[in-house]
Amino acid sequence: MSHNRNMVPSARKPLFRRTAMAAVTALVVAGSALSIFATTDATAANPYAGRQVYQNNCALCHKTGLNAAPKYGNKMAWEPRVSQGKEAMYNSAINGKGSMPPKGGHPKLTDEEVKTAVDYMVGAVGGWPDS
């Protein structure tokens, strides 16, 4: 009998632990699902997303002015281009122009990512007019 009494609490404990672990696992899974959604939202609204795309894919030419690329932050170089309007600029960046290959040579970038990088670079020279 004393053997039996010992078994009851020790049998309960692992069961409780398993339940607790399942709850923790469920929370972790729910949490990571939430953070995936949060990341997606952040990409659309996050002003740093464009900066990141720029640094990883555009800075090679646009930071230095390589191949006569308009340099980041150089108002004189960007103004006549910006005056073409947003859509024309996005179009050049996505499809290429002169010695700039489409998407800066990074075909894996989505159009949206390229646009955020254009916005980022234009933001550095005063942003889009009337917007």
Residue numbers at the binding site for ligand HEC (CB under 6 A): 57-58, 60-62, 66-70, 81, 84, 88-89, 92-93, 97-100, 103-106, 109, 114, 117-118
Provide the 10 A C-beta neighbour count for residue 103: 21
In DSSP terms, which residues pair with 100 in a beta bridge?
97
Nearer to ligand HEC, 43 or 81 (CB): 81
Question: Please, what is the minimum distance in Å from the beta carbon of residue 40 to ligand HEC?
Answer: 20
Nearer to ligand HEC, 6 or 67 (CB): 67
Measured at the CA of 70, the angle between CA 66 and CA 74, to 5 degrees, comes to 120
Provide the 10 A C-beta neighbour count for residue 14: 9
Question: Please, what is the minimum distance in Å from the beta carbon of residue 39 to ligand HEC?
Answer: 20
Question: Please, what is the minimum distance in Å from the beta carbon of residue 98 to ligand HEC?
Answer: 2
The span from the CA of 37 to the CA of 29, in Å, is 13
Whether the CB-CB separation of 58 and 104 falls below 8 Å is answered with yes
Question: Please, what is the minimum distance in Å from the beta carbon of residue 75 to ligand HEC?
Answer: 14
